[in-house]
Amino acid sequence: VIEAGQPEHSVVTTCAYCGVGCSFKAEMQGERVIRMVPYKGGHANHGHACVKGRFAFGYATHQDRIREPMIRDAINDPWRTVSWDEAIEFAARRLRETQARYGRESIGGITSSRCTNEETYLVQKLIRAAFGNNNTDTCARVCHSPTGYGLKTTIGESAGTQTFDSVMKSDAIIVVGANPTDAHPVFASQMRRRLRQGARLIVIDPRRIDLLHTPHGGEAMHLALRPGTNVALINALSHVVVTEGLEDQAFIDQRCEPGAYQEWRAFIVEARNSPEATEAVTGVPATQVRQAARLFAEAGNGAIYYGLGVTEHSQGSTMVMGIANLAMATGNLGREGVGVNPLRGQNNVQGSCDMGSFPHEFPGYQHVADTRVHQNFEAEWGVTLDNEPGLRIPNMFDAAVAGHFKGLYVQGEDVAQSDPNIQHVEAALTALDCLIVQDIFLNETAKYAHVLLPGSTFLEKNGTFTNAERRINRVRRVMAPIAGLEDWEVTMALSNAMGYPMHYSHPSEIMAEIARLTPSFAGVSYNKLDRLGSIQWPCNDAHPEGTPTMHVHDFPIGKGHFAVTEYVASNEKTTRRYPLVLTTGRILTQYNVGAQTRRTNNSQWHPEDVLEIHPSDAELRGIRAGDWVGITSRVGQTVVRARISERMLPGVVYTTFHHPETGANVITTENSDWATNCPEYKVTAVQVEKVTQP
C-alpha cells in the first residue's frame, strides 16, 4: 500500500526549461510523477531549482497533448486520425512528390532547442542524407545565432567559456542584455551570493532589472542605454580601457593576433568611440561609462554574462564580438572567475547548435564545404552529401512566399508564434504543399500543417541536453511516450520511409555516432555520463573528463582575434507616428511562447502579457495602470493591459510574448542581424494608445 505522496521510486533527469540545466529527481508512483525534487548531486544546480522546473511539469499529461498522428490533404480539410505507419508514409510521399515537382532544394526542416542532442542530430542527418540538401535550421536562429558567429570569429569556439560555479571567483560582473532572475533563476541566485560577498555589478540594459535590487557587498551600476545602441556602448567601454592604459598588455601580447589587435586598437581609440562622443547615441552619461570601464578593468577577475538583449539586434554578432574584444583587452579569459558567457534561453540551445542544425555546419561547427569533414560524414553515413550551405529559416519563408520552397518538417518549434512578423510567416506556411509538424500540442504552426505527428516530452524519452556552460546532462525516460514513440524514433521512421535507412535501438547509439564524427564530443558516452554525472565539452583524449574552463593556454584558432566593431544604427527608427521603442522579454513563471507553462498552475501568476510603460509616457497618453492599450508598429498591432513602471526608461516600453492571444510578434519587424539573420526583436518603433477592451 502506497501512502499518498510517497514515491515508489525516482529517476534523475534534467529540467526541460532554461539553459541552466538543473538536475531533478522525478519521484514516481508507477508511471506517474508525483513531484520533481531538485537533485543535490546536480552539477549545474547543486540541489536548487526554480518555480518552472519544480512545479511546471504537469503539461506532460495535459489533456491537450496530441495523442495520435493526423493527416489532411489541404489545410482547410478536417484532420483524419491515422496510424503511425500511415502518417509517416503520407508525409514521406508528399515530401518525395514535392521534390519531384520542385526540385531537391524545395524542402527542408527546422529543429528545436527544446529537443535532445540526439533528436537534433537525427533531424539534421535526415535533411542532409535523406532530403539531400542542407536546408536545416534551428530555433537558435532567432536567439543565439550571433553568439555562434561572434565567438567563433574572435575566440574560436561558439560557447560560453566557464562553469556557472566560476562566478563565485568573479570580482566584477557585467550583465548585459540579460535578466537572470527571471530567465535563469538558479544561476541568478548563485550570482547574487557572489554579489553579497562583495563582487561589483555593472548592468547594461534599458530596464532596471531585479539583480540591481540585490543587497550588494560591492558597488552596483546601471548603464541604462537606449535599445539598439549596445555596440556604441561596448566600444566606449573598450575606448576607456585602451586610452587610460587599463589593458592587460601581457595577455594581449601572448594570446592575441598582433595585426588584428593593432587594427582594432587604432579603431577603438578614435574620438568617435569615446564615452563623451557616444553619450548622445546611448543616453548613458560619459562619467558613468568611464567609471564602469575602470571598475571592470581594475577588478582582479572580470566576467561578462549576456543574453538575448545582446543577440536579438541588427548588430547582434557585432556586439558579441565587442564583448569578446573587451574580455581580451582586459585579460579576462582562460581562468576561473572571468570569461564570456552567453546565457542560453532554452534548455538545449547550446546543444542544438553543437549538433549541426545550422545550414552551413555539420555537428561540432564543422563547415559543410570543408573537404576533409565532408568526406568523414559521407563515409560514416554512406551517402553523397551536398557541400553548399542551405537555407536559413527566414530564407525558407522568403522562398516559400516566392513559390520555390514547398515542403517543411518542423520538430518542436512554433514558428507561427515565435518568429518575427507573423503575417509573413503565415503567408509562407500557407504557400507550402507539405508541412509536417511534430509537437506535443496543437500549436499555432500546426494550423497550417498537413501532417501532425505527436511529440514526446522530456519525461518520455532518453537523451541528453547541453546547458549554457557546455555541460552535457542525461535526460532519462520516466514514463512511456503518450503516443507510443519518442521523437528520435519518429525522425528515424520518416528517414526510412524517405529511402535513407536509419537503424538505432537507443539514443546511446546516436551519441556514439556523434562522438565518432564530432571532435569536441569524441570522449562522450552514456557510460561516462552515468559515471561522472555530467560532462562539459570538449571531451576528448586531451580532456577525457571534459573541460570546465576553456581557452586556458590558447584558443582553438590559436591566437585571439580582435574584431573591428563599427556601430551602425538600427534601421528601425522612431518617428512622430511611432515615437516609442518596444523591447521584449520573459517573466519568471512563464517560458517562451508559454505552450508548456500555460498548461500548468504557473499561469495563475502571469495570466496575460502586459505592457510596461514609464509614468511620463503613460501620463502623456492618459494611460493608467490596468488600462487596455493598443501597441502599433509598422507591421501590425496588438492589445494588452498597461503596467506603469519606473523600471522603464522614458521612451521605451516592454512586453513579454508568453500568450498567443497577445502575439507580441505580430508587431516585431523583419529587421535582423547582418551576419546571421537573428531577428531584431529588441527594437521595434511603436505607438501606444489607450483603447477600449478588445
Which three cell numbers mark 6?
A: 510517497
Q: How far is the CB of 189 from ligand SF4 (least distance, A)?
A: 9
**Does the protein bind ligand SF4 through residue 206 (CB under 6 A)?**
no
Q: How far is the CB of 226 from ligand SF4 (least distance, A)?
A: 30
- From residue 22 to residue 41, the character string flagging contacts with ligand SF4 as x (rule: CB under 6 A) and all else as - is x-------------------
Which three cell numbers mark 502?
A: 536509419
Label residue 540 exposed, middle or buried (CB < 10 Å: 0-12, 13-18, 19+).
middle
- Using the contact rule CB under 6 A, the part of the chain among 49-57, 125-133, 400-408, 560-568 near ligand SF4 is 49-57
Label residue 266 exposed, middle or buried (CB < 10 Å: 0-12, 13-18, 19+).
exposed
The only residue of 12, 28, 49, 211 in contact with ligand SF4, by rule CB under 6 A: 49
**Does the protein bind ligand SF4 through residue 52 (CB under 6 A)?**
yes
Residues 347/360, Cβ–Cβ less than 8 Å: no
Residues 591/17, Cβ–Cβ less than 8 Å: yes
| Block residue for cell numbers 510574448 | 657
Distances (CA, A) of 442 to 299, 366, 447, 590, 663: 51, 35, 8, 19, 16
Q: How far is the CB of 45 from ligand SF4 (least distance, A)?
A: 6
- Which residues in the 6-25 window bind ligand SF4 by CB under 6 A? 15, 17-18, 20-22
In terms of CB distance, is 45 or 301 closer to ligand SF4?
45
| Block residue for cell numbers 510523477 | 33
- Supply the DSSP symbol for 686: E
Rounded to an integer, what distance in angstroms lies between the CA atom of residue 512 and that of residue 101? 37
**Does the protein bind ligand SF4 through residue 50 (CB under 6 A)?**
yes
- Using the contact rule CB under 6 A, the part of the chain among 182-190, 320-328, 487-495, 613-621 near ligand SF4 is 182-190
**Does the protein bind ligand SF4 through residue 472 (CB under 6 A)?**
no
Residues 6 or more apart in contact with residue 421 via CB below 8 angstroms: 635, 636, 665, 668, 669, 670
**Does the protein bind ligand SF4 through residue 94 (CB under 6 A)?**
no
Rounded to an integer, what distance in angstroms lies between the CA atom of residue 335 and that of residue 549? 6
In terms of CB distance, is 314 or 592 closer to ligand SF4?
592
Q: How far is the CB of 186 from ligand SF4 (least distance, A)?
A: 4
**Does the protein bind ligand SF4 through residue 548 (CB under 6 A)?**
no
- Using the contact rule CB under 6 A, the part of the chain among 87-95, 119-127, 179-187, 246-254 near ligand SF4 is 179-187
In terms of CB distance, is 45 or 117 closer to ligand SF4?
45
Q: Please name which of 218, 113, 237, 217 lies closest in space to residue 176, comparing C-alpha atoms.
A: 237
In terms of CB distance, is 166 or 597 closer to ligand SF4?
597
In terms of CB distance, is 105 or 354 closer to ligand SF4?
354
In terms of CB distance, is 22 or 209 closer to ligand SF4?
22
**Does the protein bind ligand SF4 through residue 396 (CB under 6 A)?**
no
In terms of CB distance, is 50 or 172 closer to ligand SF4?
50
**Does the protein bind ligand SF4 through residue 598 (CB under 6 A)?**
no
**Does the protein bind ligand SF4 through residue 191 (CB under 6 A)?**
no
Rounded to an integer, what distance in angstroms lies between the CA atom of residue 210 and that of residue 206? 13
**Does the protein bind ligand SF4 through residue 307 (CB under 6 A)?**
no
- Give the dihedral of Cα atoms 571, 151, 274, 331; nearest 10 deg: 170
Length, in residues, of the chain: 694
In terms of CB distance, is 45 or 632 closer to ligand SF4?
45
Cα angle: 609, vertex 664, 182; to 5 degrees: 50
**Does the protein bind ligand SF4 through residue 178 (CB under 6 A)?**
no
Residues 499/53, Cβ–Cβ less than 8 Å: no
The only residue of 129, 186, 428, 580 in contact with ligand SF4, by rule CB under 6 A: 186
User: Which DSSP helix (H) or strand (E) runs through 535?
Assistant: strand 534-536
- Using the contact rule CB under 6 A, the part of the chain among 151-159, 181-189, 256-264, 273-281 near ligand SF4 is 181-189
**Does the protein bind ligand SF4 through residue 349 (CB under 6 A)?**
no
- Supply the DSSP symbol for 131: I
Residue count, binding to ligand SF4 (CB under 6 A): 14
**Does the protein bind ligand SF4 through residue 365 (CB under 6 A)?**
no
Rounded to an integer, what distance in angstroms lies between the CA atom of residue 137 and that of residue 413? 11
In terms of CB distance, is 139 or 240 closer to ligand SF4?
139
Q: What amino acid occupies position 489?
A: E
Sign of the dihedral through C-alpha 620, 626, 632, 635 = positive
Residue with the CB atom nearest ligand SF4 in the bound state? 53
In terms of CB distance, is 186 or 479 closer to ligand SF4?
186
Q: Checking phi first, is residue 669 left (phi over 0); if not, alpha (psi -120 to 50) or beta? A: beta
- Supply the DSSP symbol for 61: G
Q: How far is the CB of 601 from ligand SF4 (least distance, A)?
A: 15
Helix H, strand E, coil C: the string for 192-239 is HHHHHCCCEEEEECCCCCHHHHCCCCCCEEEECCCCCCHHHHHHHHHH
Q: How far is the CB of 2 from ligand SF4 (least distance, A)?
A: 27
The only residue of 53, 146, 227, 275 in contact with ligand SF4, by rule CB under 6 A: 53
Q: How far is the CB of 50 from ligand SF4 (least distance, A)?
A: 3
In terms of CB distance, is 189 or 525 closer to ligand SF4?
189
Chain residues that interact with ligand SF4, rule: CB under 6 A: 15, 17-18, 20-22, 45, 49-50, 52-53, 184-186
